[in-house]
Structure 1
Amino acid sequence: MADILDWTNAHLDTLDTALYEKRADEMAVRLQQETGAGKLPFLTMPYAAQLRKDLDGLKDFLRKFDHMLLLGIGGSALGARALQKAFYPRQDQPGHDGPSLWIADNVDTYALEAYLAKLPPKKTVVVTVSKSGGTIETVGQYFILKEWMKGHLGDDWHRNMLLVTDEEQGFLRGEVNEYGIRALPVPDNLGGRYSVLSAVGLIPALFLGMDVESLMAGAQEVVAPLADPGLTGDTLAGHSAFRLAVWGAALQDKGFAELIFFTYIPLWASFGDWFAQLWAESLGKEGRGSQPVPAVGVTDQHSVNQMFMDGVRNKACLFLTCPNLPAGPKFPTDLPDKFAYVRGKEFGELIQAEGLGTRMALSKSGVPLVEMRLGADSPRQAGKLIGLLGAATILCGWLMGINPLDQPAVELGKRLAKARMDAEGLAEEKADLKSFLNTDRDLREF
């Protein structure tokens, strides 16, 4: 079954999409220039062949371990978690006895102490992911796990470590060079939120036995036309990523300040969190952008959907469905009359009915909506979705006139946190910190 974007309820007739559609030639030329200069590895995936070899070479190594502890934050963790939840749900189910992936993506003392107390060091591989090698939330945990491994494994501590970082520079690359730790590179110009289909996300996927080849192939199927040196404006205009980018930019012009990512594939719920970072960190700049709002069907029908349908009319929706989810067990036939409508029907029919009802209700309430209907909930479709949304985000940023690849405001928060920890330098940040902390606070008990 094909993968489809349903534009029927996208409100294209009320949006000024022509303003952006006519820029297809300009965007095609820019794509040619940027991909030709090696600036968009998310689209060109020049690392793919070597990555396949590297991953193949890791298989025997990873088989030695029962646990993987992934140290990473933001784009270094969100994609891996989305893949884990989508394609390795049994870790969250009763009786699990296979490999286990644990993701340390926060400054969480409770979780870290639990890992140190309960994970078996000899059967655990610690994977640290940081392109720069300077992300303190991640590298700080690396310092602690390094000492933990030394305490249990002695001189062999490095054999249970794997680093994913810059190929040539940074603190973690120095650790690779000094201790001979296994390492895979994060490709140049590949930002964290675009990196799930690199070693960043595919090492944990491989550990859990996922079909990483299908993930990569699905993404390449979508993005390859955008990286074609012969790309024309006409070809780009017909590409779904460009159409989504045009829609996203035109929505903002009409005051649609929130973009709901409503997932009606339950195991894929964490893709909403992955998309939220992708869209927000890429497009939330210079007083512009639309706020991504992850939502899960049917759970959020009973909570935030009230706001979506009857609150401020500033919301649009990407609605993710798959009509071919498992059917599941059948409802009994001897149900009370008030539930007669489900007698003998398959449990899986319910989510399809709920999804249809919610989609129709949102559209009836005036919410512009594009349904992303997948032919299967498989790794290939996940790769296609990642490729589609990543490319659409880049193109939407360009149409908006902003850089979708940086995150300047995030960097300010990082510098202020380092100032709080008394890192060297940062005189301006330390002065701001002192002023902030010395301000009289309006404190009231509750």
Structure 2
Amino acid sequence: MSDNVLDWTSAYPEKVSPSAGQARLGAFVERLAADLSGPEGGRLPFINLPHWPALKRDLAALAPRLKGFKHMLLLGIGGSALGARALQKAFAPGQDLPGHQGPWLWIADNVDSGSLMAYFTKLDPAETVVVAVSKSGGTIETASQYFLACRWLREALGDSWKDHLIMVTGEDGFFRKESARHGFTTLPVPTYMGGRYSVLSAVGLIPAAFLGIDCEALVEGALSVTKPLTETILSPKILAAHPAWELACWNWSIIDSGFTQLIFFCYVPRLATLGAWFGQLWAESLGKEGKGSMPLPAVGVTDQHSLQQMFLDGPRDKGCLFITSREEDPGTAFPDDLPAEFGFLRGKMLGELLPAEALGSRMAMTQRGIPLVEASLASCTEHECGRLMALLELSTLFTGWLLSIDPLDQPAVELGKRLAKARLGADGLAKEKADLAQFLSAQRRTTGF
């Protein structure tokens, strides 16, 4: 049983009326049951994680091999990278601190020639395992990195290069064909698991296992949140009592009341990078048909000095999900010989500063009428992080349903990908090439600066 809590005290200021989502509970219970049915968890494998037993065995078998490498170079973008980075920053933060002796995880998550060439120049191929992650295998950014990584490994290692490459991909597509051709070790992405929901699949858990993160605790934490929806005969009463449903109803209420942006304000330093992961989850799931709200990841206390002026005194269009932890890290004591103006710090510990700042920020936002829900974690462990991730995934799903959109697809993202391929001369794409020609031939209006 977890001591994590959601605090609703400031959730519904005067401008926000609670939603009428309860009237749709029956339909959503039927929808959830239908979408969970079928092999591999149906359309929602991120809820009951049916792939975990097999993946647990695969990770155990891979463990001795992974321990033979000092470096892991992860090739992936979006959901193929954001979850892994969040877990690294939270539970293997030593890489960012002085004196780290390894292992090292390097994430190539952009088309950045300088960084990629630095990896190839500075890393020892003999000590490096490359993990290429793409469910479709057709992601141009990751595929292009893969081609160059293969050359790098082949030229340095000869016939053994294939032992230094692992693929995480779907059942079909280019990467699956490459895996069969070369005999790479390959782990699957469940068929209906989109990238932004895939952190607790091989996508996020291979790098986590390499870093020594407790993958089982992450999964068990997530399942402790989702099991009430999967291990009983689901009813409207059970769904209504679930915190993810209540959070979704709040999200729907503030969107309906004109709050078109959602601040993800994280006052748990180790989980700060979770904001970027949540940003993709929320934006790609809900930004459809002119609906949704814009996620605004923010880090406490850093962004009290960069963004909070806008939060408190800008347009009244923002709600806030406020993340804290009650785990105490006292840190070091302040010295006694402080200047008079800082005398109030005498006898206090550095660890007292963060919760005081969090309280001040939360109260200030509440006083300005910002709808705010605080998610307070009992501790910052893999188990509690898994619980938080599952809560956020479920509430995103339910918010999409309340908005009458499909939170599992991302149709608009594909347009930019097709136009990029058209620009590079890919076969077909006649309409995109015609649109490009028209766009590039338009009269430009420019101003120097």
TM-score class, shorter: over 0.9
Question: Counterparts of 1:25 and 1:44 in 2: how far apart (Å)?
Answer: 21
1:61 Cα shift?
A: 0.8
TM superposition shift of 1:263? 0.3
In structure 2, what is the equivalent of residue 34 of structure 1? 35
| Aligned mates of 2:110, 2:189 — CA distance in 1 | 21
CA distance, structure 2, for counterparts of residue 51 and residue 16 of structure 1: 44
**Partner SS state of residue 335, structure 1:** coil
SS at match of 2:337: coil
Deviations 1:381-437 (A, max 9, x none): 110011000000001101110000000000001000000001000000000000000
Matched residue of 1:424: which SS? coil
Counterparts of 1:44 and 1:62, CA distance in 2: 27
Aligned to 1:220: 223
The residue correspondences of 1:290-329 to structure 2 (distance < 5 A) are 290-329=293-332
Answer yes or no: is 1:15 the counterpart of 2:19.
no
Q: Distance in 1 between matches of 2:231 and 2:64?
A: 36
Please state whether the residue corresponding to 1:321 is helix, strand or coil: strand
Tell me what 1:87 maps to.
91
Q: 2:50 aligns with which of 43, 46, 51?
A: 46
User: Which letter does structure 2 place at the counterpart of 1:32?
Assistant: A
Mapped pair 1:128 → 2:129: no
Q: 99, 109, 113: which one pairs with 2:113?
A: 109
Q: What SS does structure 1 have at the residue aligned with 2:219?
A: helix
Residues 263-302 of structure 1: matches in 2 within 5 Å? Answer: 263-302=266-305
Superposed CA RMSD in Å reads 1.0
Contact preservation (8 Å) 1:25, 1:234:
no
- Shift, 1:12, TM fit: 6.5
User: Counterpart of 2:263 in 1: which secondary structure?
Assistant: strand
Q: What corresponds to 1:361 in structure 2?
A: 364
Q: Give the drift of 1:380.
A: 0.4
TM-score normalized by the length of structure 2? 0.98
* SS of match in other structure, 2:20: helix
Match of 1:66 in 2: 70
Partner of 2:352: 349
Task: Name the CA shift for 1:193/1:164 in 2 (closer, same or farther; >3 Å).
Answer: same
SS at match of 1:126: strand
Compared with structure 1, are the counterparts of its residues 29 and 12 closer, same or farther at alpha carbon in structure 2 (3 Å cutoff)? Answer: farther
Question: Could you tell me how far apart the structure 2 residues matched to 1:282 and 1:17 are?
Answer: 22
Which of 177, 180, 183 matches 1:180?
Answer: 183
Structure 2 CA distance, aligned partners of 1:229 and 1:131? Answer: 31
Among 163, 170, 177, the alignment partner of 2:167 is 163
| Equivalent AA in structure 1 for residue 417 of structure 2 | K
Instruction: Provide Cα deviations, 1:178-217, integer angstroms capped at 9, x if missing partner.
Output: 1111110001100000000000000000000001000000
TM-aligned CA deviation for residue 319 of structure 1: 0.3
Matched, 1:390 2:393: yes
| 8 Å Cα contact 2:12/2:18 also seen in 1 | no
Equivalent-residue separation in structure 1 for 2:89 and 2:339 (angstroms): 35
SS of residue paired to 1:23: helix
Query: 8 Å contact 2:5–2:376 — kept in the other structure?
Result: yes
Change (3 A) 1:163 1:361: same
Q: Is the Cα–Cα contact under 8 Å of residues 10 and 368 in structure 1 kept in the other structure?
A: yes
2 CA distance for matches of 1:107 and 1:242?
Answer: 38
CA distance in structure 1 between the aligned counterparts of 2:101 and 2:271, rounded to whole angstroms = 22
Corresponding residue to 1:141 among 141, 145, 152: 145
Structure 2 distance, partners of 1:17, 1:59, is 49
The alignment status of 1:423 with 2:420, answered yes or no, reads no
Q: Structure 2: how far apart are the matches of 1:227 and 1:423? A: 44
The sequence identity of aligned pairs, in percent, is 55
Matched, 1:413 2:409: no
Q: Please name the residue that 2:197 is paired with.
A: 194
Q: Which amino acid aligns with 1:348?
A: G
Number of paired residues? Answer: 445
What TM-score, normalized to structure 1?
0.98
Q: Name the CA distance, whole Å, in 2 between partners of 1:51 and 1:179.
A: 22
CA-CA distance at 1:227 after TM superposition: 2.4
The match for 1:206 is 209
Matches of 1:433 and 1:293, distance apart in 2: 31
Taking the aligned partners of 2:14 and 2:232, their CA distance within structure 1 comes to: 33
Deviations 1:284-318 (A, max 9, x none): 00011100000000000011100001100000000
Residue aligning to 1:154: 158
Contact 1:331 1:347 in 2 (8 A): yes
How far did residue 18 of structure 1 move? 4.1
Checking the alignment, whether the CA contact within 8 Å between 2:217 and 2:382 is kept in structure 1 is yes
> What letter corresponds to residue 235 of structure 2 in structure 1?
T
Report the alpha carbon displacement of residue 48 of structure 1 after superposing the two structures with TM: 1.1
Say if 1:261 and 1:292, in contact at 8 Å, map to a contact too: yes
Q: Which runs of 4+ in 1 moved over 6 A?
A: none
Question: For 1:20 and 1:41, how far apart are their aligned partners in 2?
Answer: 24
| Equivalent position of 1:76 in the other structure | 80
Unaligned runs of 5+ in 2: none
Tell me, yes or no, if the aligned pair for 1:32 and 1:229 is still in contact at 8 Å: no
Q: Deviations over 1:260-299 (max 9, x none)?
A: 0000011211100000000000000001110000000000
| Paired residue secondary structure (1:22) | helix
